[in-house]
Structure 1
Amino acid sequence: MTVTQKPFDFSVPAKGELVSAAESPVNAPSGNRGRLTLAWMAEENSSVKKGDIIARFDGTEHELEKQRAELELTQNELSQTITSRELNQNQFAIAQQAGEVKQEKEMVEKFSVDDLTVYSKNEIIDQLLSKDYLTAQQLYLAWREVSQQTQGQAQLQLLTLEGKSYRDAISLNAQALNNLEVAAPADGIFVHAKNWRGEKVREGQTLWPGSKLGYIPSLTQLQAKLYVLETEAAGIEMGQRASIRLDAYADQPLGGEIVALANIAAPRDTRSPTKYFEVTVQLDTSDPSFMRPGQKLEGKILVANKEAALAVPNQAVFKDNDNSWVYVASGASFARREVKTGLRSLTQTEIIDGLRVGEKVALLEPTGEIK
């Protein structure tokens, strides 16, 4: 083919989807403890009104925990009643026994005589021993009363603390049962969230409190999120223009400007090592009548636009690790000539140095004589 100077547009292809620049998040209830099982969720892209229930979590575990705590509380209250009754009965029995000992001691003191002319020495000794025994018994009963009172109160305090823990458990699980539904924070379209693996949140999934379930995007502030292959991202900068076509509405082209560019490339799929740069394009217009977040699209980023450049088809340029060359027609054969390349599009490669207008290059590697 003959080398000519012509306009050269260098654009980078990309694929992606529509996203919203503003959104109202929808999260799992944050007041519950432990993990939650998603029992039901409104269909993706369904139209919702503010206050509509759009997700519901399973409350079976909370209901069982509440019933278990209620049973434990009933048993605890019964134990408190029994312990209190036993303490009162024991205190009454000790008080009654102490009264009897007091009366008996008073009788001994009243009729005690230490006159050897009246009683024998042995009888007097028996009276003194009886008095000492009754005194010791009084001291023992007083100690026993205080000891049982202390032990009984300690048991009641422990049972009271246990009862409080059961009441707290009942209250927490009751609150959790009243906090299993999620309402829409705004009018709009409900979009399901993705996890770090790119998987959508689904019914039956176990989530932590506060986890993101989805969002309700603004349909008037849409952006295109593009993914550019790491090997093709050279030259992409902020502010560059991009043309966008939705897969479902290819006949309605869109345009926009790059407003965000990832610093490093990353895989889109954990099962593939291929890396992409994430590019965000602010669209010139957003039409809610047919545009929705999540719609797949293709885009082209205009990296450079030159009014006059030497460019040849990509297949005419051959490369090794260090050099690039073309085969230039020389009489009846072709000569290998090294060239310096510039920008490269999907079909054309810019030649900065090494070729002149009017020269002819081979589109395929020549099979004949090469100079």
Structure 2
Amino acid sequence: MNAGRAVLVLGAATAAACAFARSPRDPVPAFEVRPGPFELRIEARGRLHPADATPIEAPSVRARAFLAWLAPDASRVAAGDLLFRIDDRDLRMRLERARAKVERIERQIAAKRRALEKERRSIEGEIALVARELEDAETAAPRDPRLFPRAEIIDAEANVQLLRAKRRHLENKLARYRDRARAELEILESERKTEAIKVALIEKDIARLEVRAPHAGIFYHRRYWNGEPIRVGATLWGGMEVGELAGVDRLEARVHVLESEAAGLAEGLPATVRPLARPDLEISGRVKQIEPVAKPIEEGSPVKYFTVVLSLEPAAGEGLRAGGRVSASISVARLEHALAVPNQAIFTIDGEPAVFVATRAGFEPRRVVPGRRSASRTVIVEGLEAGARVALVDPRKGGPA
């Protein structure tokens, strides 16, 4: 992009009065100074954008997002109309895998429940069998030493104690089984819940893949740094701006001013905007906003620009559309009666700015106080009077400085 450039605008009358002068006796080219209007402007280029637009951003999804469908640029939409759609194939595959994992874990839970139930019945069956044996042993155990030998009584008591110990062991085994069964099922249930949450999140992402208009308006596509609009197939990420939805058909200009030429740029300055598609049309505007930090606008370029937003007169949007290229001229300063000389007429003598003024004896140096400066002219605040002729080259050298 050509950078904005400060230029000097002189009135036609001043241009006629302030002409270069050269005489046969004086081969040094000179400039005759006359008071006249001096206007310092900054030239810039950019594009039209919708004013007061709602940014339309891509949702955050847990997959690589590609733009699958996009409403036409500058299309009028109603509230709820589809603006763009993100490709859902990656999310659909993830959803199938997550659902399959949930089903697999549910089958594992069911199988584990059957195995644990079988183990529980086995332990409880052993406990019931030992309980019956213990009951029979306690009932039939010999206790009267008058009727049974002492050794038989001792053996019977030992058998009862053994059955009681076996019953306690099986009861402890059943308690440990219950703790283990609960832990194993809780682990599987936790895995199932985790995968079920994944399923719900993916389903939520899929439901957000279609972005609709929050209100009626005109939908404009986002443009990259090189001016190209976003297209179907573009990679998206969460929060990325896909376009803008203008509530009304009002436009503003966003132009770029070269960092080195932004001196004097301020909010509220008047500007003139010309659409490149309609060079005969001039739109009045004012500086609405200036980005505080200059940034490159071309990839890999070290040149930095300030982005400047220009508000346009209300009827400016008629027949124009966002995205159109424009040139802008921002009026930084205007002096009605200024003494201005070409920049090449100012020299440095002993570290001070000076000009060479024509006299009867030739050109003599004269110190001056310069004021505002454009790319081609400098205003002289002190040290020079109207009608003076100043040298455009160093008369001491007889050639350009």
Q: TM-score, normalised by structure 1?
A: 0.86
Match of 1:40 in 2: 68
- 5+ long unaligned stretches in structure 2: 1-30
SS at 2:368 equivalent: strand
Deviates more, 1:147-156 or 1:316-325: 316-325
Q: Deviations over 1:255-284 (max 9, x none)?
A: 112233444544444633334344332212
In structure 2, distance between residues paired with 1:218 and 1:291? 16
In structure 1, distance between residues paired with 2:354 and 2:135? 130
* Structure 1 residue 327: Cα displacement: 2.7
The reply on whether 1:98 has 2:127 as its aligned counterpart is yes
Q: Deviations over 1:141-182 (max 9, x none)?
A: 221222212221222232222222222222221222222122
The match for 1:49 among 71, 77, 81 is 77
Are the aligned partners of 1:334 and 1:369 in contact in 2 as well (CA < 8 Å)? Answer: no
Q: Counterparts in 2 of 1:296-311, with a 5 A limit?
A: 296-311=325-340
* Structure 1 residue 251: Cα displacement: 0.7
* Structure 1 residue 218: Cα displacement: 4.9
Match of 2:183 in 1: 154
In structure 1, distance between residues paired with 2:262 and 2:100? 65
The reply on whether 1:284 has 2:338 as its aligned counterpart is no
Match of 1:15 in 2: 45
In structure 2, distance between residues paired with 1:59 and 1:124? 82
The match for 2:378 among 334, 342, 349 is 349
Shift in alpha-carbon separation, 1:269–1:145, aligned structure 2, 3 A = same
Shift in alpha-carbon separation, 1:275–1:106, aligned structure 2, 3 A = closer
Q: Deviations over 1:99-121 (max 9, x none)?
A: 22222222222222234454433
Are the aligned partners of 1:217 and 1:293 in contact in 2 as well (CA < 8 Å)? Answer: no
Shift in alpha-carbon separation, 1:266–1:337, aligned structure 2, 3 A = farther
* Structure 1 residue 223: Cα displacement: 2.0
Q: Which amino acid aligns with 1:308?
A: H
Are the aligned partners of 2:220 and 2:322 in contact in 1 as well (CA < 8 Å)? Answer: no
Q: Which amino acid aligns with 2:70?
A: A
* Structure 1 residue 224: Cα displacement: 2.3
Deviates more, 1:357-366 or 1:330-339: 330-339
Match of 1:83 in 2: 112
- 5+ long unaligned stretches in structure 1: none
What's the RMSD between the two structures over aligned residues?
3.0
Are the aligned partners of 1:219 and 1:288 in contact in 2 as well (CA < 8 Å)? Answer: no
SS at 1:39 equivalent: strand
Q: TM-score, normalised by structure 2?
A: 0.80
Q: Which amino acid aligns with 2:341?
A: V
Are the aligned partners of 1:101 and 1:137 in contact in 2 as well (CA < 8 Å)? Answer: yes
SS at 1:109 equivalent: helix
Aligned length: 367
In structure 1, distance between residues paired with 2:247 and 2:319? 14
The reply on whether 1:250 has 2:279 as its aligned counterpart is yes
The match for 1:187 among 205, 217, 233 is 217
Are the aligned partners of 1:193 and 1:215 in contact in 2 as well (CA < 8 Å)? Answer: no
Match of 1:141 in 2: 170
Shift in alpha-carbon separation, 1:235–1:175, aligned structure 2, 3 A = closer
Q: Which amino acid aligns with 1:40?
A: A
Are the aligned partners of 2:67 and 2:236 in contact in 1 as well (CA < 8 Å)? Answer: no
Q: Deviations over 1:208-255 (max 9, x none)?
A: 333322212356332223333333333334333212212221111111
In structure 1, distance between residues paired with 2:105 and 2:183? 15
In structure 2, distance between residues paired with 1:111 and 1:140? 23
SS at 1:361 equivalent: strand
Match of 1:164 in 2: 193
SS at 2:66 equivalent: strand
In structure 1, distance between residues paired with 2:134 and 2:209? 71
Match of 1:212 in 2: 241
Q: Deviations over 1:187-206 (max 9, x none)?
A: 314221548x9886555454
Are the aligned partners of 2:219 and 2:243 in contact in 1 as well (CA < 8 Å)? Answer: no
